[in-house]
């Protein structure tokens, strides 16, 4: 997307009360994060409803999450494609929050055409909405839609080529002017129907790779508040990416979108609980079955020593310790691991191999032998990690999370319920960017006066009626009252494979 970013707030005020039922998905278009201005990259919160559509080998188009089971995109993007998947919550298109396979393609009229370039993708399972994944608003109320049609500008989003046909992994945005359709007919020598829009910018344009992405604007509706509404779908334009473009008028297809979703939607099994319940499945619930404990005091911890080096770790099996990769010596013969209890150390182990994942600042240490029952505190076990994506997503979407504060003077460990922080606000506090694979937490101020924060971020779930603590993150940084954790839950597949082959 060739861009010159300009943030222009466009606000509608309506005198009459309008209920949330005017939207396809009532929980749509909420701005969870702060706005930022300047530059070429889109604001992080706009990635909440963005979808990166991929075929078997590569990224092909953009799209938008409009419903917990459906993604909206351009029909020409999905026509003739056999195997598709989407990445959701994708600020970086190569690192989405979650991925879903596509199990059905639905194009208007059953085919792709220039005039009706609109399609829906049915996902393999429902998406659980959270701070990073939310649907954009599709207006169903035609009276309200008609009041919105004459907007002067749109915001377009996508991962298309930049100037010089450079590829980008970061979501881009551009502000486009809403032109009369006749302008596009003259400039592009095509006829536009009433279900198409014409838009462009003097010093930028959408480009190859942006197709399927949205035209949006912020709407303020009385008694509903600010919502991000989708007006169009990026459809066609000049191959030189330097002029007016043609866009699908989404509001003209609101009835088709609604009826198509109603006809093809199938509900997942209900899933809700303050403490998420994990159902027994054929697939293992945990990465390592002999794990346990409802509190960090019940889990095996590690102190790692080397030449001028000391770090913490957590046992995730009786023979593997998870720790940070940064500054970790790579020669295993230089490392020793002490099994740590509540008040003192137990047996010491040497390290057989170091398995780093530097991109995500984590590493596994394989010990020379499993921790023996006699060599560890009675009843202590490795911490549990959820094994499958469904359970992980279910747990991640139901706050709170848990931090632990060790207070030696009180002779106890405090469980503290915490919520995940806003990445932009955390970045401002610590004066460093919070990367896509990190989680930030700002615990209550009083806890820092009581004791030191724990090495892990956990989550309490119930399995077969028993409360279990599962691992979500390990500390990578802390500053100015903010703790930054590496999201190890997202790395469960890498962890499982590393353990299996080693």
Catalytic positions, written as ranges: 76, 117, 211
3-state secondary structure of 134: coil
R_g of the chain computed on alpha carbons: 25
Q: What gap in Å lies between CA 62 and CA 48, rounded to an integer? A: 13
Residue 134 near residue 65, CB atoms below 8 Å = yes
For the beta carbon of residue 360, count every other beta carbon within 10 angstroms. Answer: 19
Q: What gap in Å lies between CA 3 and CA 93, rounded to an integer? A: 18
CA separation (Å) from 351 to 364, 373, 488?
10, 19, 21
Backbone angles phi, psi at 392, to 5 degrees: -65, -45
Residue 62 near residue 52, CB atoms below 8 Å = yes
Q: What gap in Å lies between CA 436 and CA 360, rounded to an integer? A: 10
Burial 188-201 (b: 16+ CB within 10 A, else e): beeebeebbbbbbb
Place of tokens 């006699």: 374
CA separation (Å) from 96 to 107, 123, 154, 161, 307?
25, 15, 25, 19, 38
29: left (phi over 0), alpha (psi -120 to 50) or beta: left
Bridge partner list, 251: none
492: left (phi over 0), alpha (psi -120 to 50) or beta: alpha
The residue among 67, 135, 124 whose CA lies nearest residue 101 is 124
Q: What gap in Å lies between CA 126 and CA 69, rounded to an integer? A: 5
Backbone angles phi, psi at 298, to 5 degrees: -95, 0
């Amino acid at each position: 997307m060739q861009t010159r970013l300009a943030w222009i707030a466009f606000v509608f005020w309506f005198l009459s009360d309008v209920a949330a039922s005017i939207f396809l998905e009532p929980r749509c278009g909420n701005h969870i994060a702060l706005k930022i201005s300047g530059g070429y990259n889109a604001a992080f919160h706009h990635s909440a409803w963005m979808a990166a559509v991929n075929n078997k080998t590569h990224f092909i188009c953009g799209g938008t999450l409009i419903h917990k089971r459906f993604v909206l995109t351009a029909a020409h993007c999905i026509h003739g494609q056999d195997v598709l998947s989407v990445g959701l919550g994708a600020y970086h298109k190569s690192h989405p929050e979650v991925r879903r396979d596509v199990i059905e393609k639905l194009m208007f009229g059953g085919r792709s055409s220039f005039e009706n370039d609109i399609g829906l993708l049915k996902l393999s399972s429902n998406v659980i909405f959270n701070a990073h994944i939310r649907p954009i608003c599709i207006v169903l109320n035609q009276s309200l839609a008609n009041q919105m049609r004459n907007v002067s500008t749109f915001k377009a989003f996508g991962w298309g080529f930049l100037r010089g046909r450079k590829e980008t992994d970061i979501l881009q945005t551009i502000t486009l002017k809403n032109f009369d359709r006749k302008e596009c007919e003259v400039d592009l020598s095509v006829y536009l129907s009433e279900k198409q829009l014409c838009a462009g910018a003097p010093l930028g344009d959408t480009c190859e790779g942006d197709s399927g992405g949205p035209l949006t604007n912020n709407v303020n509706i009385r008694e509903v508040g600010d919502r991000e509404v989708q007006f169009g779908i990026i459809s066609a334009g000049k191959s030189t990416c330097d002029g007016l473009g043609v866009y699908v008028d989404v509001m003209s297809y609101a009835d088709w979108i609604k009826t198509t979703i109603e006809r093809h939607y199938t509900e997942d099994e209900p899933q809700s609980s303050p403490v998420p319940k994990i159902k027994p499945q054929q697939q293992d619930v945990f990465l390592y079955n002999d794990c346990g404990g409802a509190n960090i005091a019940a889990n095996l911890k590690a102190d790692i020593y080397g030449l001028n080096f000391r770090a913490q770790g957590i046992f995730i099996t009786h023979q593997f310790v998870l720790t940070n990769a940064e500054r970790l010596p790579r020669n295993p013969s230089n490392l020793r691991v002490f099994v740590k209890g509540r008040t003192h150390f137990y047996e010491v182990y040497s390290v057989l191999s170091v398995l780093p994942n530097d991109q995500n600042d984590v590493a596994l240490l394989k010990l020379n032998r499993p921790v023996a029952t006699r060599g560890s505190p009675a009843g202590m076990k490795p911490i549990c990690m959820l094994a499958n994506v469904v359970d992980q997503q279910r747990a991640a979407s139901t706050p709170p999370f848990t931090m632990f504060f060790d207070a030696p003077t009180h002779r106890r460990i405090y469980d503290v319920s915490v919520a995940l922080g806003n990445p932009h606000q955390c970045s401002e506090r610590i004066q460093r960017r919070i990367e896509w694979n990190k989680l930030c937490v700002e615990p209550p101020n009083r806890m820092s006066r009581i004791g030191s924060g724990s090495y892990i971020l956990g989550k309490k779930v119930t399995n077969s009626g028993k409360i279990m603590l599962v691992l979500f993150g390990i500390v990578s940084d802390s500053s100015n009252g903010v703790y930054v954790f590496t999201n190890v839950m997202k790395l469960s597949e890498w962890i499982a494979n590393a353990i299996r082959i080693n």
